[in-house]
A and B are shown apart, each in its own frame.
Chain A
Amino acid sequence: MEHVDELIAGHALRALSSEDEERVVVHLAECEQCRRKLRETEAVAASLAYGVPQVAPPPELRSRVLAISEPVVAAPVAGASSARPQR
């Protein structure tokens, strides 16, 4: 089996053409060795994130993100009764 080491680096950077991307994805599905290589390469790429100037996110972003985890309640829709009057 031909491994795709070079393409894995490009894949981790999301820099591949769609043809190369497809080759990698197909290969990764069947190759544990390359999946391990991808994990390692993604970790190196992610470490680059810590090299950029660290900027505090706006406080309202925390509220927006945590709102994602709010339980979905079937809340009564304001004005629903007047919008859809019961006969």
Chain B
Amino acid sequence: MTPEPDHKEGRLEHLSDHGLLALVGRGDREAFARLYDMYGGAAYSLALRIVRDRDLAADVVQNAFLAVWTQARTFDSSRGQPSTWILTMTHHKAVDIVRREERRRTEPLDDVPAAADPEPAVEHQAWLGVAREQIAVALARLPDPHREVIELAYFAGYTQSELAERLAVPIGTVKSRTFAAMNALRDALAAVGMRPEDEWNTSTS
């Protein structure tokens, strides 16, 4: 087994996420390690929130980063930020597992064990704290029926048809609520200076 790459101070520090991903596409193991160190924690936290099982969450993250490694070369930088790509793949894989496992998705969150070591990388802590608060505020400001469809779809993996049945509303209502909620979230984040489609500078804040 070859030793794990340990990105050295300096060589990769100044690179944007797009730059890192381009290096990964050329087989750069240090850049891959750096991307994992930057986004592995967010990916694992998201996966755990959705699948509610540490082993399954780890499998989800491993599969998402396998996709990063194998698809980085063909990543089209016009399709958005690498961090969005990584978290979108993580989300979709986690939702697929929840559906396949037919895990009950409305269980209280209490059964997710508390983190033994809940410390993200130091360089991310301040930024994550601010982001988390702003996102929580943006979500809280949504009208209840809008927040409900986002939470049940994004975090619990319900399809729109399942939501229509569960909420006893027409599927057209589910679709329009989802659309309105996502637009409202975008506007709320923009109002506090977060434009998610831009690169969020997580490495220097």
Binding site for B on A (CB under 8 A): 5-7, 9-10, 12-17, 20, 35, 39-58, 61-71
Contacts and interface: CB of A to CB of B under 8 A. Distances in A.
Interface string B159-197: 111010000000000011011011101100100001011
B203 interface: no
Contacts of B83: 46
A22 to B, nearest CB: 14
A35 B163 CA distance: 25
A40 B186 contact: yes
A55 B36 contact: no
B103 to A, nearest CB: 16
B105 to A, nearest CB: 12
14 contacts: A6-B179, A16-B160, A39-B84, A43-B80, A43-B197, A49-B43, A50-B42, A52-B45, A55-B45, A57-B61, A62-B4, A66-B29, A66-B32, A69-B29
A66 B178 contact: no
Contacts of A48: 135, 139, 150, 154-155, 185
A44 B189 contact: yes
A55 to B, nearest CB: 4
A42 B154 CA distance: 11
Contact of B196 (A9, A47, A64): A47
B122 interface: no
A14 B153 CA distance: 8
Tell me the dominant secondary structure on chain B's binding face: helix
Contact of B182 (A14, A44, A63): A44
Contacts of A16: 159-160
B29 A61 contact: no
Given A52-B45, A65-B61, 19 more contacts: A12-B88, A13-B154, A13-B178, A39-B84, A40-B196, A46-B88, A47-B196, A49-B42, A54-B45, A55-B48, A58-B54, A62-B40, A63-B4, A64-B62, A65-B40, A66-B4, A66-B29, A66-B33, A69-B32
B87 A57 contact: no
